[in-house]
Amino acid sequence: MFVEDNEKIMHANIRKFMRAGYETAAAPTLAAARLSISERTPDAVVLDIMMPDGSGLKFMQELREGGYSDVPVLLLTGLGAKEDVVRGLAAGGDDYLTKPYDFEELLARVEALLRRTGKVPEIVTKGRLSLNLAASAAILDQTDLLLAQKEFALLFIFVQNEDRHISAEYLYEKVWRAPMAGDNHALKSAISRLREKIKGSGWKIEWSRGEGYSFVSE
């Protein structure tokens, strides 16, 4: 659940988390968050500290004292001073991330919190493609595509970033865990194999000079 008064940030995060396979809810005010949580307990809360109708820290303390002590809370805020971080974690926050931020880092941090409670989705579905995250397997119409580890990692990034251009450098660093250093042969080869394996899925990987790769529907 996102508790965020900036509509642009909130909708971008919702869209991206849904692409990653998560069901999401959002509240632009603390009052709306209280109502939503009373109707359905979220698996995790991404909370802005500075809300228009009160303090996010006080709201978090309400959760801790009101029967929601097991719900992990990530504080996502523009307050980045050391004392702000210490104050947020001391008030009961499970993690703290300052704006501006990288979405991949936000996703990774939320998933780390969810793993503690066993709430990470095992299957991410994109049309006829299903990604089993636990087994690192991609299934197309009940057929295992037999992806290599790096091919699966690339496909998962593409599925999370549908219709968004991603640079070769970014993909290489995320999958190979090292700077590309100008040599993208390994990346090109892996993407070429992946393109062949997902043929017939309704999705394709495109390349645009100056923009990068994108995962789009056919």
3-state secondary structure of 19: helix
Per-domain boundaries in the chain:
2-117, 123-217
Which helix or strand (DSSP H or E) is residue 44 part of?
none
pLDDT tens readout for residues 154-207:
999 998 888 889 999 989 988 998 888 877 899 999 999 999 999 999 999 999
**Cα dihedral sign for 152, 156, 157, 162?**
positive
Distance CA 159, CA 164 (A): 10
Predicted TM-score of the model (pTM)? 0.62
**Cα dihedral sign for 134, 190, 188, 178?**
positive
85 C-beta neighbours (distance < 10 Å), count = 17
The domain defined by 123-217 folds into: Arc Repressor Mutant, subunit A (1.10.10)
pLDDT tens readout for residues 94-137:
999 998 888 888 988 998 898 888 766 678 888 899 998 878 89
Amino acid residing at 89: L
Which helix or strand (DSSP H or E) is residue 55 part of?
strand 54-55
pLDDT tens readout for residues 20-58:
778 889 999 999 999 999 999 999 999 999 999 999 999
Q: What is the pLDDT of residue 125?
A: 85
Name the more confident of 151 and 19.
151
The domain defined by 2-117 folds into: Rossmann fold (3.40.50)
**Residue tagged 């002590």 (tokens):** 69
